[in-house]
């Protein structure tokens, strides 16, 4: 749910600024990007490279941005707990129009997390029988690998509103554990 109060607070504390030199959020340049800029790009990649290759390119391509943006903020705002970074990131994404994010499960010891998303812009713009929120998955993967669990993580969208599920669902788990598990099957 968009909470305009968050933007007012960011403006009041000058963390969000508008000037001749551009827009800035937490001292990083930002743009208001209409979601079709991204969804059209995604669909172009999919047409050119196929679903899986396009998905992997987007996930790997966006994780760096997710990590550097969040790292920049986390540096100046010391979070006490990793859960706080996750909650902050999800709240910011919810407020910035990426959908409504909720933490369903978080086990820091086992390095497992599960999130739900409602109404992501991608589910409104892309109709598919497969999950479509690859860019969001990439951003979450960047934060999970670089700021939360600090190891390679597998981030998968298991349910998606684009294909008729009630909510999108994203699972985060260690890459190595999963490989071990699949080998044992």
130: CB partners within 8 A, 6+ apart = 51, 160, 162, 163
Are 85 and 70 contacting, i.e. CB atoms less than 8 angstroms apart? Answer: yes
Minimum CB distance to Zn ion smaller for 22 or for 97: 97
Q: What is d(CA 134, CA 121) in angstroms, rounded to the nearest whole number?
A: 12
Q: Which of residues 133, 143, 170, 171 is near Zn ion by CB under 5 A?
A: 133
Tell the smallest beta-carbon distance from residue 120 to Zn ion (Å): 6
Minimum CB distance to Zn ion smaller for 74 or for 140: 140
Closest by CA to 86, choosing from 154, 147, 6, is: 147
Count the neighbouring beta carbons within 10 Å of the beta carbon of residue 62: 20
Q: How many residues bind Zn ion (CB under 5 A)?
A: 3
Contact letters (x/-) for Zn ion, 145-164, by CB under 5 A? ---------------x----
For residue 154, the cross-strand partners are 173
Contact letters (x/-) for Zn ion, 73-112, by CB under 5 A? ----------------------------------------
Minimum CB distance to Zn ion smaller for 74 or for 155: 155
Minimum CB distance to Zn ion smaller for 30 or for 156: 156
What number of CA atoms fall less than 13 Å from residue 16's CA on the CB side?
Answer: 14
Are 157 and 129 contacting, i.e. CB atoms less than 8 angstroms apart? Answer: no
Minimum CB distance to Zn ion smaller for 74 or for 136: 136
- The window from 92-100, 104-112, 128-136, 141-149 that contacts Zn ion (CB under 5 A) reads 128-136
Q: Please report, as ranges, the residues that interact with Zn ion according to CB under 5 A.
A: 133, 160, 168
């Amino acid at each position: 749910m968009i909470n305009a109060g968050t933007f007012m607070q960011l403006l009041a504390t000058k963390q969000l600024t508008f000037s001749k030199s551009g827009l800035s959020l937490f001292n990083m340049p930002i743009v208001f990007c209409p979601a079709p800029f991204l969804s059209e790009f995604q669909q172009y990649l999919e047409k050119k490279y196929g679903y899986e290759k396009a998905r992997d390119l987007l996930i790997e391509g966006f994780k760096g941005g997710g990590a550097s943006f969040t790292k920049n903020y986390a540096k100046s705002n010391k979070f006490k707990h990793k859960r706080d970074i996750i909650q902050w990131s999800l709240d910011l994404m919810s407020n910035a129009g990426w959908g409504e994010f909720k933490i369903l499960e978080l086990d820091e010891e086992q390095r497992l997390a599960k999130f739900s998303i409602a109404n992501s812009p991608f589910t409104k713009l892309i109709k598919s029988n497969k999950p479509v929120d690859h860019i969001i998955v990439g951003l979450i993967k960047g934060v999970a690998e670089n700021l939360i669990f600090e190891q390679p993580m597998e981030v998968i969208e298991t349910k998606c509103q684009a294909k008729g599920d009630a909510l999108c669902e994203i699972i985060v788990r260690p890459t190595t554990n999963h490989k071990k598990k699949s080998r044992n099957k």
